[in-house]
Every structure is written in structure tokens, then in C-alpha cells.
Structure 1
């Protein structure tokens, strides 16, 4: 088992509240999508209908699951032994420690011992450890999880009875479910859905829950100020004129004075930005036609617009619309002979309407081409490479690639994402509108935290030395060029184990991380089944939490301020012994440092490596923190 202390809780806290602030709705009093009576009725009816179809034959087969694990173990061993670096491959095998589960399978150990070895291996196969995303290790993890499920359902008749009871309890919970489910209800439902999915039974119930609890649980926004800062600019330039119209060679200068502006357009499936150029042009030219010279001047108005469509595939463009007006006049006709000047003036007057039409057409083409060139440069903008950067991490923690939707409104562009596994639920409640202006914002729903940290921490015992060991190698990789060295890390871990840990905690198997955003407050904490410090143990279910209140400072910043006391509760325990009560006070003291008195109280500076120039090196600070209906909203300026 793996163990946790103060540094790990701090890591979790930062991950929940800060990691997603990398990048709104502006109206209020709009109804929020939530669980309806029809949703409740559909679920209850489907559960009642599906209970009859639960049969022993559909449960996972234990013999097949054992065989699959052994096959995957051999694949992993072959992969590691074929590494360019034999030492690195052996270090991986030492870290994975495959012998206990292989021996338990070969020796026909009891279900309890086999399950424990399977859980231990799964814990080593899941976590943000570079290398765990490779297919051979993910395949092994999948087979180990299938083995755990097969052990759980090995007694077919008994499992049928238990699963039907779970379905009955689930139906009763749904009947009493609030329109906006509590975090406890949502987490319990997710745990039951995960169990049902493992059983290979009543898949239609899982599908229905994924549909109803299928709204995005993460949203990232870029407000109009960021977009306009990136695109809006003044236009003030001059260019030489060289042309020929009706046999007259024209040279001179044209000066443009105007502006380029961006306007966000409502769209779903992509973000749409209308880029427009408007300006005023003045020209001063000299025309040569034989021995005659014509001095001309002109004024013009230009207007061009184009819509940019942006999503993860890049930037595409709608056609350009251009509208121009041009008014030119002959200021002087120069020749040493007056009769030539009179003839030239008469001829120029005759040709001027046609010359003006030709000049206007050329002017419009020129404006269109130049605008196309300038806006076309946007196609070279590097879009956020979410898949390449995020997918390895998701694979390491056994999550799937999130479903994502790009879009825009008149006030912001956004990306909504649904982060969950096949056997997890997302949100049943649409995100609330963001009240007020912002440059960037992020919204996190409670299910996101449960989906990410639940599989990672559920059932684990974590201590400080192991968390430090994981953090120490966070920048190493699996390949020869950026390889991790589990063997070295284990040596460091063995050294650390000589020191008595500050404390360690066994995480609960359901909702190990507490994250609630409701009624204007944020509740953070952990759920455990055992707390230990030194030689003192407390083996009871416990919940250690801190309540934070969004507060605005005198200079307009928004921060989270912690209520003074750390809450330590023991659900289901009526009375603690004297020693247990003393340990409770010890828990409060230790977690007083884990949960700081304030959160989000720092200014965030975008690194110089950010490719988006509008936010590169800029400093941002939270100006809005809102906690409603299970959603935490953080907006920055």
C-alpha cells in the first residue's frame, strides 16, 4: 500500500484549485439544467426492469481473468528486458514487483491474498509517473482491474443477490434524490455505477446514468478582453503606389489610417471571431502620359471583414467581404505648352469615369488581398495541444480522453470538457453563469475531482516518503532519452523509511477527496479509514475537512479564507475513547498546516514560454470566486 502525509494533501489541494487555472456567462437568474422528474422516473423504471436480467453467467470469469493477467505479465517482462538500457528495464521490473501476484495465481492462493496482491500491483500501475502511459503497462493494469472484479463476483449466486440489492438501494436513492444531487449522492451513485459496470450486467442502466449525468464537468473561458487584446490594433502605414491605368503610369504614395477589431460571434462546435478592418486612405500621386504629367490626390474608405473559425484542428476562414469607396481628383496638369495642357485636360475629363472605375476595382482587390494575407497569418497560430500534453497524464491515472466542445458567445470563447472513465458519471447540472467581467475563467464541477482522484487514491495508504519519491521523479520518462529509474527511487524510499513519518492515512474507497462547492462556500478535505502518527493508530471512518469562504480584499482581489477550525468527524461513531479523542486533537493540529488559512491569494504570472502573446508574461489575479450548485468558478483579470 502507498501512504500520504502533509505534502500529499497539499499536492491534492493545489491540484484541485490551481492546476486548472491556465486560461462566462454574464447574465443571471437563468434556470440551471438539473435532474428532472422524468429523469428520475426513467432511471427507476430501467432499474426495476433490469434487475430480472442479472444472472450468474454474465459475471467476469475468474479463470479467464487469471490467465489474462499472466499473459500481460509476460508481455511486460519481455518489453522491459528488451529495453535499450538493461538497467532501466530491470529497474522497472523491480518497481512493478510482479512476482507476488504471479505466484499467488500459480499457487492458487486464497481470494483474499490474491485480491491484496492485485490491489498492491494496481496501486503501482496508476499515478502520474512518466512511463505508466505506455500500452503494455496500461494493458496490465486493465487485466489486474478485471481480475479484481472477477474475484469480487466469484460466487455467482451470492453476487446476483448482492447486485440486485445494490440496484434496489440505488433505485431508492434516486427516488429521494434532489434536483441538484449532493456530492455524497453523486459519489455514491458513481461508486455503484462502477460496480455495475464491473459486473458485466445491466449495461443499459450504466448507459442511462451516463446520459443523465453526462454534462461537462470542466469549462475554460477566454473573455472578450483577451481576444480583443490579441487582435485589435491601430493601422497607420504608408505604402508606395505604382500602377498603370489607361496608358498613364502612376507613382506616388498612399497612407492608411484605421483600425482592426475583433468581435466574438455565438457558435457551438467551434469558436467564431469576426475580424474587421475599417479605415481612411489618402493618396498623392503623379501620373505620366507621354510628355504630360498629372498630379492627383484622392481619399477613400475601406471596410473588410472575415470570420475565423477556431477549434482543436486549427483555424479555418470564411470568405472576405470588402467594401471600398474612392474619390480622386486631378489637381494639376503639367506641360510647358498651354495647348497641350488644354487637350490633356479635355481628354482626362473624358477618361476619368472609366479610370475611376478601374482604380476602384484595383483598390478593392488590393484591400482584399492584403486583408487575406494579414488574417491568413492566424492559421500559423499554434492551437492548444491538449491531446499531446494532457493525454499521457490521463492514461497514467486510468482516465479516457475527455469529450470536448469548443464554442463562443458575444462575450467569451470557451472549451467544455467531460472528464470521466467509462464506469464514471459526470455532472447532472449545467454550469452556472459567471457574474461579472473577466479575462479568463475556469469552472470545476465536483465530479471532476472525484473522477480524477477517486481511482488514484481510493483505498490507498499514503505516507510522506512515498509522495516525496513520486514528486522527485515527476520529470523523468520511460524512454531511453528520458527514462525513469524506479530502482534508484526505491533506494531513496528505503532510506526515508528509517525516519518516522509525520502521519499516514488510509483513504476511503468511496470519495477519498472531499470537494464541495455549494451555497457560496468551498469545502475541502479527505475521507479515511485509519489515521496513524508514530505508534498511535485511529482505526475508524473519519472525515477531515476545512471550509473556505470567498472573500474580496480592499484592492479588489478575490481569495478563499478558511474558517478557523479544522473539522474532524467520525461518521457512525457515537463516542471515542480518551486516547482516540486525544488523537483527534492531534489530527486537527497536523491538518491546521495542511489546509492554509487562505487560498488563491497569489498573483499568477504566465510564463514567457506561452505562445499566446496576449497573455505571455502577464500577471493575473482572481477577481471572482463563486461556489454554487456543485460548481467552483474562478475568474481572473
Structure 2
């Protein structure tokens, strides 16, 4: 009973947090409350005799209806807590629970061994289902922890070389600005010519990425100082270095103020006085040279101030765009949808910016062991199939997705709709994804196998049952680069269908033809890994070409090189 009470308390707390979240959006919040029957759920949880499991089951069906908005973390938390409470409550009177527990524990070892050997996402999904059931029953905690330790390693590694990053920032600096300062009571006017070079340097940091925009150069100033009757004509040379540091971590992007260091040295060309008399002019010369060290120190500080202001003004607009994009297009959307990686570490050394991440999800497997060695390249990615599969499950599992919305999502992500996703059909389609493994990929032995799973499909006013579409590609090296070749036409079959024994119904045959024709266009016969064209300031680095690629043991390792090279590695 204690596990049921604990589950109920978690559910009550999750509902309270959801209610508070909906209170912040009165219009939509009230609509969600009505649709999800939240008031009814809250009332059931307060009943002294306990809630009606039938009513809670009906409420759960609302939370699991597949609407895109229900993927927000606040809804997901309640759905999971509600399911846990319902399952545990029903198990109280289940006399067969010990037998089921034994079967689950006996099933795990062969499943784990099979997954070690095959890297099959379907086997991983079965392991995940067993672990989730054990947790729902509040049993087998040690077993769950053991499995999570083995299959809980980071499953994404990205490295960007310092040279590639610097190419987006390196540029000459050559500008002229007016000088108007009051230095030790002297009104200094003239022009300053700034000549230098801007570049990017990586600073060693183990708990975040630190990037320093550095500007080195000198300011040549030609000025006249006005102090009473004296006119002081001088030329100044101010070598300087300036640095603006940007810190990147899972928490966001931090932009520090610029920090310049300048040393002004002046050469007095002439001192003139408006009144007559050698005595006055000698006094002016003497006073000018006496104050020269202090004036140079003050001029250095003023130069630092101007440099800091200029660098902040020029860099902050661009860096603020980076910070906003990181927060609004990456961090916040993933947090809102409970998709943010459990581990996201940034670090830098003098050679590269490195990112390490782990995306699992509730009881989902991540990588086991160390990743393959980094491939050669200026930009390298080592992606374990579980990172993609777990992200896809978190984003799409159980969702009902219409064609129009799918196109909007792809266009938003890519900035355009690929031609192969344009539909020639007059009737729109829709898919209901299953609650697990909606889209999976498997990397092994130089091959990539992609599977798209639909629990139900709609086309026009017709509805079809579950069907899985599978396509396999193999990697091939050609003179022009790497190519993914489709091994055969995509196949569409119902889940667990055996073509040697089972037969398709008329409806299934119709859906199969529709899916194979449609996915035959999406999964093209040949996919050339074209160079990646860089934009903006990074265009000077030229296109990034695929220098090496490997698909094995669940890992995709790809290296992109900024400059063409004959030393292209083949897996």
C-alpha cells in the first residue's frame, strides 16, 4: 500500500504544478482544464474512499490522446504519474504479481545479451518496457539501476576545431574615429586610426565552453590639445589587445563585457602659445613634458574605454542573436517538451570546442561504453543511434500528426520543404504514432536501417490499421565522395508480420501500396553526402566536405573538413 500512497502523492503534486501552469494562461488554461477533466481528477483524488479507477482511466485517455500540445512537460508529468497510480492500484489485488515479477526478471538477461550483439532498436524497446513495468510496480530497483549503469553513457559527441571557429571571426580591422577627450585638464581633439586584426581563440575550461573574441592592433592618433593659451600638437601610438569572452553551458550563453589593455606613447610635435613671449612658451614646453607620463597613462585608460565600447557595440548584436537562438530555438523548446538531454556538457581547450550529451528518457537505453575514436575533420559528430531514437520517441510517441503540420515542422527546422516531402496526392494524410519507437535508426556494419512506425493512418475519410515502413541503406565510397545507396525498395508490413506465414487483408494491401509508393520518394534510391555550404562570416572557410564516415556498433561517426584533402578515410 505504501507504493500506492507514494504514487498518489506524486500524482497530486504533478496535478498541482499543472494547475499553477495553466493559471498563467487563463484562456487556453481553462480550455485544457475542461478537455482534460482536471477538476474531476482533483475531486477524485480527494475522496476518502479513494478515487474511481474507471474515472481515472478515462482521464488518462485524454492525456494520452496524442495532441501535439500534450507533449509539453507539464502534461507529460501528470500523464506518467497518473499511469503509475492506476497500474499500482490495480496491482494491489493481483495474486499473479509475484509470478509476473519473476517472468520479467528472467526475461531481462537474454534481452540484454541480444541487444549487445544486435543493437536492434526493437530489442532495446522491449528492455525499456520491462524496466518501466518494474518501476511501475516499484520492484527490481537494483536490477533497473544495474541496466541503467551499463546503458547510460553519453550518446552524442560533437567537436569543432579552433581553426574552423576562428574562420568565422577572423577579419582585418581598419577604421578611423574622431578623438575628443579631456586629459589632465587639456581638451584633446583629433583623429585616431585603428588598424588591427580580429580573431577567435578558445580558452581552456572543463565545465563550460569559453570563447574569446580578440582584437589586437594599434591606434595612431594625430591630435591637438588646448589648455589655456597653449596648443599642444602631438602624435600618439597606442598598441592594444582587447578580449570579449563568451561562455556557453547547458544553462545558456553568457556574454561578458570587453576588456582592453592599451599603452599610449606620445611624441610632442610642437607647443604653441597664443600670447607672445619666449618665457611663456618655455613654461608650456616644460609643463607639457612634466605631465607627459600622467597624460599617457590617462590616454591609455581613455583608449581602453573607447575600445571596450566599440567592441561591445559591434559584437553584442551578433552575440545576443546567438544567445536568443540558443534559448528560444534550442533550450526552452526542449525543456518545455521534456526533451532536454539529461547530460549536456560543453568544454574547450586550445584545439577544439567539445560537446558531450546523453539523451535517454524514462528507462530508455543510451550508449554502452566508450564511443569510437573521433574521425578526422574540423567538425566531427559521433552519434549513437539511441540519441536519435530517444529524441524521436520523446517528441513523437503517441502523437497524432497531420500532413500539413508535418510540413510546417520540417520547414521550420530546415528553412525549406525538401522536394521529396511534397505530396502529389489530393487527399491529406495523417498518422497516429505508437507509444514507443515511432521512428528508429540502426547503425551497424556500414549500414543504416530506418523504420517508420504508425499505429494508425488516415487518408481522406479512410482509416487504416498499424503498419511499419522500413528502408535500408549501405555506405559506398566513390571518387566524388560518399553515397548512401538504398538496398531495396522500402517495405511496409503490419507489426510482427511474417511474410512467409501471414497474409494481408484487402485494406492492408491498399495501405501497403500507398505507403511504399509515398516512402519510395522520401527514401531516395541514392543519397549523396554533398558538401555543406557555410553562410555568413563562415563562408570564407569554404564548403565542409565529408572526410570520413563510419556506421558500426550503433554509432555514426562523421568528420567534415573545411578544406579539400586527398587523405579521405574509408571505414
State the match for 2:471 in structure 1.
546
Shift of 1:307: 3.3
The one of 542, 557, 565 aligned to 2:489: 565
Work out the CA distance in 1 between the residues paired with 2:506 and 2:166: 58
Among 443, 448, 454, which residue is 2:387 paired with?
448
The aligned counterpart of 1:594 is 519
Cross-structure match for 2:568: none
Q: Which residue of 1 aligns with 2:35?
A: 92
The aligned residue for residue 401 of structure 2 is: 467
1:389 pairs with one of 320, 323, 333: 333
Whether the 8 Å contact between 1:561 and 1:597 is mirrored in structure 2 is no
How far, CA to CA, are the matches of 1:506 and 1:404 in structure 2? Answer: 28
Q: Against the structure 1 CA distance between its residues 204 and 90, is the aligned structure 2 distance closer, same or farther, given a 3 Å change threshold?
A: closer
Separation in 2 of the partners of 1:527 and 1:243? 70
Higher relative contact order (CA 8 A, sep 6+): 1
Normalising by structure 2, we get a TM-score of 0.67
Indicate conservation of the 8 Å contact 1:58/1:200, yes or no. Answer: no
1:404 counterpart (344, 357, 361): 344
Aligned residues: 517
> How far, CA to CA, are the matches of 1:513 and 1:181 in structure 2?
15
Q: Secondary structure at the match of 1:435?
A: coil
Question: 1:90-120 CA distances to partner (integer Å, 9 max, x unpaired)?
Answer: 98369x999xx99xxx9x99x9x99996875
In structure 2, the residue corresponding to 1:240 is in which secondary structure?
A: strand
Deviations 1:477-504 (A, max 9, x none): xxxxxxxxxxxxxxxxxxxxxx999898
- The secondary structure found in structure 2 opposite 1:267 is coil
Residues 193-220 of structure 1 deviation map (CA, whole Å, 9 limit, x = unaligned): 2222111113233334334433344556
Aligned counterparts of 1:86 and 1:288: Cα–Cα separation in 2: 68
Q: Counterpart in 2 of 1:6?
A: none
The answer to whether the Cα contact below 8 Å between 2:236 and 2:264 also exists between their aligned partners in 1 is no
User: Hey, what's the Cα distance between the residues in 2 that align with 1:512 and 1:244?
Assistant: 69
Question: What does residue range 31-46 of structure 1 map to in structure 2 within 5 Å?
Answer: none
Residue in 2 that maps onto 1:27: none
Q: Deviation per CA, 1:525-577, whole angstroms, max 9, x where unpaired?
A: 146799999999999xx864211245689877x76443333356886948325
Query: How much does 1:411 deviate?
Result: 5.2
CA distances 1:127-179 after superposition (whole Å, capped 9, x unpaired): 423x66385x5565235412553377455442222223322332345467649
User: How far off its partner does 1:421 sit?
Assistant: 3.2
Evaluate the alpha carbon distance shift between residue 370 and residue 152 of structure 1 in structure 2; reply closer, same or farther with a 3 A threshold: farther
Q: What is the DSSP-based 3-state SS (H/G/I as helix, E as strand, rest coil) of the residue aligned with 1:273?
A: strand
2:64 aligned partner: 123
Residue aligned with 2:401, SS: helix
Is 1:267 matched up with 2:192?
no
**What does residue range 28-427 of structure 1 map to in structure 2 within 5 Å?**
60=4, 92=35, 120-124=61-65, 126-129=66-69, 133=72, 135=74, 137-138=75-76, 141-147=79-85, 149-150=87-88, 153=91, 156-174=94-112, 178=116, 183-218=121-156, 224=162, 227-228=165-166, 231-243=169-181, 250-288=188-226, 293-311=231-249, 312-317=251-256, 320=259, 322-324=261-263, 326=265, 328-334=266-272, 340=278, 344=281, 348=285, 352=289, 354-377=290-313, 381=320, 382-383=323-324, 384-385=326-327, 386-394=330-338, 402-410=342-350, 412-413=352-353, 415-427=355-367
SS in 2 for 1:427: coil
CA contact (8 A) 2:464 2:511 kept: no
2:198 is paired with a residue whose SS is strand
Could you say which residue in structure 2 is the equivalent of 1:513?
439
Q: Do the aligned residues in 1 keep the contact of 2:230 with 2:284 (CA within 8 Å)?
A: no
Specify the alignment match of 2:567 in structure 1: none
Change (3 A) 1:446 1:335: closer
Task: Report SS of the residue matched to 2:96.
Answer: helix
How much is the aligned-residue C-alpha RMSD, in angstroms? 5.8
User: 1:161 & 1:192 partners in 2: Cα distance?
Assistant: 14
Alpha-carbon distance between aligned partners in 2 of 1:417 and 1:152, rounded to the nearest angstrom: 38
8 Å contact from structure 2 (residues 73, 335) kept in 1: no
Contact 1:532 1:538 in 2 (8 A): no
Counterpart-to-counterpart distance in 2, 1:331 and 1:305: 33
For the residues of structure 1 that align with 2:247 and 2:30, how far apart are their CA atoms?
50
Write the mapping of 1:495-514 to structure 2, written as runs, cut at 5 A. Answer: 507=434, 511-514=437-440
Partner residue in 2 for 1:481:
none
**Separation (CA, whole Å) in 1 of partners of 2:213 and 2:544:** 29
Provide, for residues 177-200 of structure 1, a one-character-per-residue CA deviation record: whole Å limited to 9, x for no partner: 649955455433322222221111
Compute the displacement of 1:282 (Å): 1.8
TM-score by length of 1: 0.61
Once residues 116 and 602 of structure 1 are traced to their aligned partners in structure 2, the CA distance between those partners, rounded to angstroms, is 50
Whether the 8 Å CA contact 2:164–2:378 is kept in 1: the answer is no
Partner Cα distance (1:362, 1:292) in 2 = 19
Cα pair 1:323 1:364 within 8 Å, conserved? yes
Pair 1:150–1:289, CA change in 2 (3 A): closer
Instruction: Say if 1:164 and 1:180 are closer, same or farther in 2 by CA, change over 3 A.
Output: same
Q: In structure 2, how many angstroms separate the alpha carbons of the residues matched to 1:504 and 1:253?
A: 67
Structure 1 residues 577-634: Cα deviation after superposition (integer angstroms, max 9, x where no partner):
576899789837732431434368899999xxxxx98689xx9988576544424467
Q: Which runs of 5+ in 1 are unaligned?
A: 1-56, 476-498, 607-611
Q: Contact 1:217–1:444 at 8 Å: present in 2 too?
A: yes
User: Are the counterparts in 2 of residues 59 and 201 from structure 1 also a CA contact under 8 Å?
Assistant: no
